[in-house]
Amino acid sequence: MSEFISDNIKIIVFQLKDEEYGIPVQQVRSIEKFQQITRVPRTAPYIKGVINLRGVVTPIIDLRNRFGFEELSTDESTRIIIVSKDDKEVGFIVDAANDVIDIDSDLIEPAPEVVGAVHEKYIQGVAKLEKRLIVMIDLDEILEMEREPHMLM
């Protein structure tokens, strides 16, 4: 499929801690303000619960928790990014959704062996843009984690 995609890709840039992360815009359904989450018993700590989003019950994953970062209380900039993969919707809690940018796919390098606190399995690569480094997350791997609640870093 990648051979049919142009050299430019559009990504949503979001923030966790002091780092910027990216996800291709075609995988994002919407970006929502933080809202009340209903807890679901006996789920992994990074699965915060579910929300009712326009009539669809959507599971919510706290990416800070999942990546092993310290907990942070929500504020005005906290967002839930709703992603879709194989007719399944999941929300990611992020510190902020910064912007939508076009990047040249040639600027994305493979993930280095060590990417700080985030296990390289969940990283597709790193985009280098002038003074910014944007860590491209691997949506397939992050959604795979949901089926493996025993896998905590």
- C-alpha span between 116 and 16 (Å, rounded): 13
CB 29 within 8 A of CB 89: yes
- C-alpha span between 103 and 106 (Å, rounded): 8
Quick check: helix, strand or coil at residue 126? strand
Tens of pLDDT, residue by residue, the chain (153 residues): 444 445 889 999 999 998 999 999 999 999 999 999 999 999 988 899 999 999 999 999 999 988 888 888 899 999 999 999 888 899 999 999 989 999 998 888 887 766 454 566 788 899 988 888 999 998 888 877 544 444 333
The CATH number of domain 2-146, selected from 3.30.70.1290, 2.40.50.180, 3.30.2320.50, 3.40.50.1260 = 2.40.50.180
